[in-house]
Amino acid sequence: MKADCALDDVKEAISTAKSNIESIKSQKTPTYENTIRALDRATMDLNRVWTYLNHLESVADTDELRCAVNAAMPLVSEFYSSIPLDSGLYARVADYAKTGEALSLKGSGRRLLDETILDFELNGAGLSADKKKRLSQIETRLSLATQKFSENVLDDTKRFFLHLKDKSELSGLPDNAVKTAAKKAAERNLDGWVFTLEQPSFVPFMTYADSDALRERLWRASARLASDGEFSNWNLIREILSLRQEKAEILSRANFADVVLCRRMARDGKTAMKFVEDLHAKFKRPFEAEWKALLNFARSQNLADSDGLIPPWRVAYVSEKFRKNKYDFDPESLRDYFPMDSVLNGLFEICRRLFGIKVSKSELDCLAWDSSVEMFEMRSESGGLMGYFYTDFTPRKSKRAGAWMNLLSPRDAETPALGVIAGNLSEPLDGKPALLSYDDVLTLFHEFGHLIHFFAMDSSEIGLRNVAWDFVELPSQIMENWCRDKTALDLFARHWKTGEKIPEDLYAKFKKSLKFMGANAAMRQLSFAKIDLEMHMSAAKFAAAEDINGLALDVLKGYMHKYSVVPPVILPRFTHLFGDSVGYAAGYYSYKWAEVLDADAFTRFEREGIFNSATGREFAEKILRVGNEIPPEKAFENFMSRGPDVSALVERSVDFADSDVYGGECAC
């Protein structure tokens, strides 16, 4: 797909979809095949074209491509929003639902019919003509506003870089970070070293650079992203919140959270908020105890300010010093054991042992958007082709931040699935392979968990190959557990030069440090979930606020520590919430919700063996494969023979036996 023909491709796909829908409406005798299944597949061409176009913009953004997306977006949004508002189409589905065939449906057919009717009911099929028109206008405007929000974050991120010329300013930085910075400078035809706001550059600098002034400079650049000037997102946040609340009211819902969550495990905003606040209560004491221990260490090392506190740009630096002091462990000491190819091969081997899937390099011409991109194929245990997927891990200015998996097109009949896992990970340097940080390794396992899930779903009905948003992170997050076990690490963690496994003494230090500041990491996620729900359950208050940042800080008291300098909230750059018409809006709690599920589900692997093939196959059968053919809570119960237990997550996150933090007392 190229930018100059993208708009025509979209228009053609919309035309095809419209014809498909008109064909459904013209059926004199509605059947499952010509009505329900036909509707489920009516937009497949458009889904594919629109997904491809948005994918390309996320990995190879250009002015031309961005213009094409923005030109097509109102057309696509208007069309998609028109489907559940089409009275004739709804009448045809309702007519079919009364037939003898419909009443006798079972299994996936019954489920798809019920889900289809619910789609219409929840998206305004019964509204008046005026309200339908307004709802369509809201969807179109939301698509444009959220697209602009994302563009502002990307553009503001790209324009900043920290250029250093004095080698003494690199004091404390790992060799890998220094070499990466030299490469970034060379790419800009500059001498010296360049650091950016991309994670592989930003995180090591904030963690290891000895210069407090330079860390402050980089932190302030990140903290103010999209919060002022031409790329400010504050007014877009106000508009997006107002539009979402108006949509909720048109649909007779109290707030946008209730609109979004009615088909997820939480069901409504109130339940999601209770989950967040209950988990907050469980982590509150260790959260405060960990911070007290960190501050005491900072003061003992003369790293605190005169008020005894530390500023936000010093937190990662002090934390790493504290970790080193407690465990004699530095995460950078693992990097040499994580060459990219070895990690990928180990990941594939773990999935072969657990789920029977086989992954190998594809012999097809990759035909990708960048020369660093590779293509792989995934086959089932019986050898059947499940799909192809791209890997794109190299940071680029034209690529959005973060890491993600995208299903570009689903498996259908004889056509394999096509997907991508993308991220901004460490790059090859000075003849060495790409040596990953431990966090990079977790990211790879996480995103591949998503890919396996979407490739494994095999319902005959395309519309049932999805799951509730607060369940979708279970298959991805559970994969991270294999990055913590020595037996699993020995499959892929080999020194890039010698092939040596991680030494036992180094692994022991790593293992002891896994829960370091764990309650603080959990509370950070809970703070995002809290402000997300507050904003989408009280949208009018936030939209009308002169100072949204100040209001958000008030809401988050008890979720944030006191610093010597008050950090702004993440909202203007929070693309999870405001970079898509829905995205993770009112749903950020899903990460912690699914983490409860993953920690609990992994206890079964711990009991039965982390490479127990029977357990792995059962997980694949009862969790990965089923999609939306059954409710997610039922899928979890089928695997665990009970509902979820939150205690596994708390135990995995917090070392209550740490006498330095708790003085020997249990903080349960």
Catalytic residue numbers read 447
Helices 315-327 and 504-513: crossing angle, nearest 10°?
130
Distance CA 159, CA 397 (A): 9
Q: Give residue 316's Cα distance to chain centre.
A: 22
Distance CA 381, CA 390 (A): 21
Distance CA 459, CA 412 (A): 10
Query: C-alpha dihedral over 615, 619, 621, 627, to 10 degrees?
Result: 180
Closest of 652, 654, 651 to residue 516, by C-alpha: 654
Triad 443, 445, 451: Cα angle to 5°: 105
Residue 555: strand, helix, or coil: helix
Q: What are the tokens at 249?
A: 């009211």
| DSSP, residue by residue, 307-327 | TS---GGGHHHHHHHHHHHHH
Distance CA 515, CA 525 (A): 15
**Where in 371-491 does DSSP place strands (E)?**
374-379, 385-392, 404-409, 417-422
Distance CA 386, CA 484 (A): 28
Q: Which amino acid is at 535?
A: M
Give exposure, 260-293, as e/b (b: 16+ Cβ within 10 Å): bbeebbbebbbbbbebbeebbebbbbbbbbbbeb
